[in-house]
Structure 1
């Protein structure tokens, strides 16, 4: 199904649709018989923001910027703030307009139609909850007191609770990023490629890493560089004045340079090369894409296979769950979207900002359609 889905996602395949098209499923990736959606968490606030930056400055964290002193701090550096909640609430309202107001999904929430899956992080779970409130948890006139939510004093008006499912992040190979020795080895090979060497050994990048090593008090390299850029990006959103007042060395030009380098490194680590890198007859770029995004891609294609099979076999026990399902949501991370875009070669997708990163609350929708004339399935990515 994987190869077939890749082929069917091309514009030429979509253009072959004759006759009436029926939407069956939507997958959303946070990111139609069914549709799958994948979305990224909303804008974040770093917990104990200034402490984190001081820890970097005064050598209170380890060289790989991973093992913070505080256990709680290490588990959740980032939380979705008010901005992120607002972003996902507004995204939920847009999704309601797209799929509810057009009649694909019911005007009232149904657990048989919708399934929400999140990684096990506060920011992705809160983003998913905020998104569902935007779809069904406000007074849009359809939800009924006493049926969809309790008729009890103090209950928020028209709020319909919607379950968000998750699993242990250490075992979540679909939409999170637990340890993977094969992925690590492939990425090591990627960073040893001629393209990577040309980038990392260029005077501009060497000097950039030296300056950041001096400022942070720890060695900065291609593997931990993104963390510093990430921290500075969020500080500019939530504490820009303090950031620039306390760190006169920081400037827009420096950050723009960091963003460019980080994007180039990210593409290499996601298997996107200017020219194929082949080692021992293995296409390293394609192998990285499969390791990083293959499990999620297989999950989506398996569900769509099941949905199509159950169209004519509704009596099968396995079809009971999938028959009613129309909307499957993943609430995940920027790298989840990047993994998905890379495996489809959609690096210039509209949900990617000019600097190359999926924006906060960005989403991709994968729709499964069936043509009523030739009875063939087609796929569409929004």
Structure 2
């Protein structure tokens, strides 16, 4: 199979990237800084995050300058984001670097920016980019099973003394210092350190390292340890399926679409790479980007190459799907990823009964309202007919 450079790329390319640098998601009870130090508030994209995404957009423009049209064309690119400020803003900053207005698109000579559509859906309805979905009871059952596994319990016990000390430092109740809460403490300290704020005396390098280890283990419990394929089918496998379908649809329809971009989260990238069996256990940094390149081969078939950009100082490195060479024939890629692609996500999640119950409840409520409405209408008619008749001439 012919080896291609990115400038010779043909077909559809897909990018999934994490948002840029942000403020912490939350604070802990004894946090000396709280929310006030963050200009736009918690969870929001910072100026550094905007710069990171703009730089990623510029990099993509340079990498694919002979593939993309020199000016923005709505037929060539589709962009979707999760419904969070930081991901929506990241998508916009990225697009500003990727498609600065040229010639007739230049509407203000002092502003190298143009509006480009970014699509989204409400968080509660987003099964494609936001994991895990709250509408998937089976996933939470799997996580309960995971937390009972001997390997998990043994590892958590080894950190018991540390988490008790951490509770004293942070003001959390000792009984509620879960790995998820530990991750939140680490996230807060990581963000503060990244922005050169002085950390509390207890937040030593050893403490930060242990927090990082616990965070990595918490992630591992979500993608490995127990029934990893089934977890993948309920999370990252959905995105793998969408990526393959996007390309197949573009080919069938002879679509001019050249690029699909997804602005999302570290959890999105982790779930995706875990489903593809290429996750290396290293947390995706801000503005990290997983790239899919679909190529048309001379024999009429298609192939897939994957790249991962997790360091802005060097070129992305290639990811190879286990069991396949690179480039990987699309048919082989589809066959190898089939075990993690859900055939009926609703049924596999165990949420079908819930939907049926909801429908039945809604129907019962509608019938009740109709009966009450009919009774009220009958009462009003009877009252009107029974009212005293006015005297003639009044």
Distance 2:196 2:105 in 1: 41
Distance 1:223 1:89 in 2: 31
Q: How many residues align?
A: 297
Aligned partner (choices 256, 263, 278) of residue 324 of structure 1 = 256
Deviation at residue 225 of structure 1 after TM alignment = 2.3
- 1:182 has 2:125 as partner: no
> 5 Å matches for 1:75-94?
77-94=42-59
Aligned partner (choices 114, 118, 125) of residue 81 of structure 2 = 118
Distance 2:214 2:55 in 1: 32
> 5 Å matches for 1:360-371?
360-371=286-297
> 5 Å matches for 1:120-159?
120-137=83-100, 143-144=102-103, 147-150=104-107, 156-159=110-113
Aligned residues: CA RMSD: 2.7
Deviation at residue 301 of structure 1 after TM alignment = 1.2
1:45 alignment partner, SS class:
coil
Q: Which whole-Å deviations, capped at 9, do the CAs of 1:111-163 have from their partners, x for residues lacking one?
A: 1101111111111011111111111126xxxx01xx31425xxx643322211
- 1:57 has 2:30 as partner: yes
- Partner residue in 2 for 1:286: 229
**TM-score, normalised via structure 1 length:** 0.72
Unaligned residue ranges in structure 2 (runs of 5+): 308-394
- 1:234 has 2:191 as partner: yes
Deviation at residue 217 of structure 1 after TM alignment = 2.4
Distance 1:79 1:24 in 2: 38
Q: Which whole-Å deviations, capped at 9, do the CAs of 1:297-348 have from their partners, x for residues lacking one?
A: 11111111212323xxx4xxxxxxxx11100000000000000110011122
- Partner residue in 2 for 1:201: 157
- Partner residue in 1 for 2:221: 268
- 1:340 has 2:297 as partner: no
Deviation at residue 213 of structure 1 after TM alignment = 1.8
Q: Which whole-Å deviations, capped at 9, do the CAs of 1:5-28 have from their partners, x for residues lacking one?
A: xxxxxxxxxxxx148799998xxx
- For the 8 Å contact 1:117–1:329, the answer to whether it is kept is yes
Flag as ranges the 4+ runs of structure 1 deviating above 3 A: 18-25
- For the 8 Å contact 2:6–2:63, the answer to whether it is kept is no
Distance 1:361 1:78 in 2: 15
Deviates more, 1:163-172 or 1:191-200: 191-200
Q: Give the structure with higher Rg (CA).
A: 2
Q: Which whole-Å deviations, capped at 9, do the CAs of 1:229-281 have from their partners, x for residues lacking one?
A: 1111111112522xx2xx221111100111012102211112x23xxx4xxxx
Unaligned residue ranges in structure 1 (runs of 5+): 1-16, 26-31, 62-67, 278-283, 315-322
Distance 1:325 1:23 in 2: 17
- Partner residue in 1 for 2:180: 223
- Partner residue in 1 for 2:303: 378
**TM-score, normalised via structure 2 length:** 0.70
Deviates more, 1:177-186 or 1:77-86: 177-186
Structure of higher RCO (CA pairs closer than 8 Å, 6+ residues apart): 1
- For the 8 Å contact 1:293–1:339, the answer to whether it is kept is yes
Q: Which whole-Å deviations, capped at 9, do the CAs of 1:86-107 have from their partners, x for residues lacking one?
A: 111111111001112xx11001
- Partner residue in 2 for 1:97: 62
Q: Which whole-Å deviations, capped at 9, do the CAs of 1:37-59 have from their partners, x for residues lacking one?
A: 00000011248xxxx64x5228x
Aligned partner (choices 293, 308, 322) of residue 251 of structure 2 = 308
Distance 1:135 1:220 in 2: 43
